[in-house]
Amino acid sequence: MNEDDPTDEISEIEAQIEELAEIAERCRKLILASRIAIVGGAALLLIAILGLFGSGPATALGSIALMLGGIVSLGSNISTLRQTDTNIDAADARRSALIGSIDLRLVGNAPMKPR
């Protein structure tokens, strides 16, 4: 293959896109877990405030910590997901440009050999 052949670079970009897609999927799972932590912390705080199940101040503090941790994790993972999506779009555009630069030959209607 000659040096102007972009197939190796296209393969590297496709591997990078796959890796970024895995990162994005992990972020989506962590975003879901963060939302669950926020809702769980809010429910636990409500239980502590209402005094159900003999809850005390430690439960209230724990629920507040759970909500704050969920909020921080949610913000961080949303930011990472946005950056990852931007990187995927850029890599995909680069891959498309490289594919577009390949001089493809049109194969005509060649007669088929009977088997």
The answer to whether the CB of 81 falls within 8 A of the CB of 27 is yes
Among 21-35, 41-55, 97-111, whose mean pLDDT is lowest?
Answer: 97-111
Cβ burial, residue 103 (10 Å; 0-12/13-18/19+): exposed
pLDDT of residue 112: 67
The answer to whether residue 42 sits within a structural domain is yes
pTM: 0.77
Spatial CA neighbour of 24 closest among 92, 94, 93, 88: 88
Q: Do the domain assignments include residue 3?
A: no
DSSP per-residue codes, 82-100 = HHHHHHHHHHHHHHHHHHH
Half-sphere exposure of 9 (CA within 13 A, CB side): 16
For the chain, the first-to-last Cα distance in angstroms comes to: 32
Q: Which domain holds residue 36?
A: 9-100
Which residue, 40, 105, 33, is CA-closest to 76?
33
Structure tokens at 74: 């949610």
pLDDT number for residue 78: 97
* One-letter amino acid of 38: I
Identity of residue 47:
I
Top pLDDT among 94 and 113 is at 94
The reply to whether 109 falls in a domain is no
Residue 47: inside a domain: yes
Residue 105 within a domain: no
Structure confidence at residue 7 (pLDDT):
83
Q: Is residue 68 part of a domain?
A: yes
pLDDT for 15 beyond 80: yes
Average pLDDT, the chain: 88
Tens-place pLDDT, residues 44-76: 999 888 887 767 788 889 999 999 999 999 999
pLDDT of residue 18: 96
What pLDDT sits at residue 2?
52
How many distinct structural domains can be found in the chain? 1
